[in-house]
Amino acid sequence: MQRLLKLNQVRADEAWELADSYKGCFLTTVRSASPDGELIPQYDVEYVGQVEAGDAKISVKTFRRNIEVEVQGCDLALDQLWAQMSISAMTAS
């Protein structure tokens, strides 16, 4: 049973990893906690993209089935990050 729980934790952590084409666009931080009595871990994930206009950050927090997503950064930084991601996706194809 412990082996299955550990395997489940590893696979759940891997779910937050980005596709290879996007990994170069972000610094990814994944933190998880397993509160007592809970079967589903809680996650606090940050994807930070560093572009010329500054940092753009996407934060994801989970609690049970609830997911909270917050996007931070100036409009120019978000536009530059979008362009960087688009180019990364096109060159990966």
Q: How far apart are CA 89 and CA 86, in angstroms?
A: 5
Do 64 and 46 contact (CB within 8 A), yes or no? no
Rounded to whole angstroms, the Cα distance separating 29 from 16 reads 9
Report the alpha-carbon distance of residue 59 to residue 88 in Å, rounded: 21
Domain count, the chain: 1
pLDDT, tens digit, 9 for 90 and up, residues 20-50: 999 999 999 999 998 888 878 899 999 999 9
Instruction: Specify the pLDDT at position 25.
Output: 95
- The pLDDT assigned to 41 comes to 86
Supply the range of the domain harboring residue 57. Answer: 2-92
